[in-house]
Structure 1
Amino acid sequence: MKFLAIDYGSKNIGIAISDPLGIVSKPLTTISNTSTTKNVIHIINIADTEQVDKIILGLATDSQGSNYQSLKHHDKLIYSLRNHSTIPIAFWDESDTSIRANQLQTKKNQSRQSIHAISAAIILQDYLDTHSQAENPDND
């Protein structure tokens, strides 16, 4: 099963992709957050080209574990993705992914945009690792 993850920011949207088996994630690209329509077209084109089975959208949670405010911020994107694609969408906690992405940044001159793709890869890898452990609890 192949996955695409989204790190949705106010200026940039990071995209990451998994391998075909859904084991490893990698940053794919960063797109400018221009308009919901353009963003959705771009995301769906990538998902179709990559033959994605599921989209994972990072959502920030508050101290109580609620992602209500994050859902409100992303609602137009979620609504449009669901209306223009049949690819299932799952949500995953994106808390601290930007911090972790900055720590993983190896080149000092790496652009701020690439951090969003790295954040998307972290979101996706967390999702893949958690679901892999849930399906194979004896692997510890």
Structure 2
Amino acid sequence: MRALGLDIGVKTIGVAASDELGLAAHPVETIARRGTEADVARVVALVAEREVGDVVVGLPLELSGQAGRRARRVRLFIDALGRALGDEVGVHEWDERFSTAAVERVLVDADLSRRRRKQVIDKQAAAYILQGWLDARRQPE
């Protein structure tokens, strides 16, 4: 079953999806934020369209590993998403520290213009988050 990855920002939500085997994450889209209810509804629609079994949400922890103001806001979204999806779909938090910075470095190295980077950074960060979760799941205990 597929997984969906989310990079939740103030203005946008980056979305990525895995392949059917759960091996690779691919950028899907960037959702313009319109409020928690509308944003959750869009994610729920994507879950149904793509037959997703797990949603992985990047949690922006502080450098110390503590949950700051941004992480608390994301957890409010996670709670709303969990209520909307019910028990059928797992919703998981994933430490996203440095994900956007790592993706930004890759895009700069690829010589993408600033404008093009702005268009793809959120969904690429979502793919980075989801790929980390997928890789961790495959590691032997």
TM interval, shorter chain, is: 0.7 to 0.9
Once the two structures are superposed, what CA deviation does each residue of 1:11-65 show, in whole Å capped at 9, x if it has no partner? 1100000001111001000011110011001011011100000000000222332
Question: Which residue number corresponds to residue 55 of structure 1?
Answer: 55
- The answer to whether 1:121 aligns with 2:127 is yes
Distance 1:40 1:113 in 2: 21
| 1:104 aligned partner, one-letter code | V
Aligned sequence identity (%): 27
Distance 2:82 2:74 in 1: 12
Distance 1:102 1:128 in 2: 21
Alpha carbons 2:63, 2:97 under 8 Å: kept: no
Give TM-score scaled by structure 2 length. Answer: 0.87
Question: Which residue number corresponds to residue 93 of structure 1?
Answer: 95
Distance 2:65 2:93 in 1: 13
Structure 1: stretches of 5+ with no match in the other structure: 136-140
Question: Which residue number corresponds to residue 104 of structure 1?
Answer: 106
Q: How far apart are 1:4 and its partner, in Å?
A: 0.2
Q: How far apart are 1:74 and its partner, in Å?
A: 1.5
Question: Which residue number corresponds to residue 28 of structure 1?
Answer: 28
Question: Which residue number corresponds to residue 37 of structure 2?
Answer: 37
- Secondary structure at the aligned position of 1:134 is classed as coil
Distance 1:33 1:113, change over 3 A: farther
Give TM-score scaled by structure 1 length. Answer: 0.88
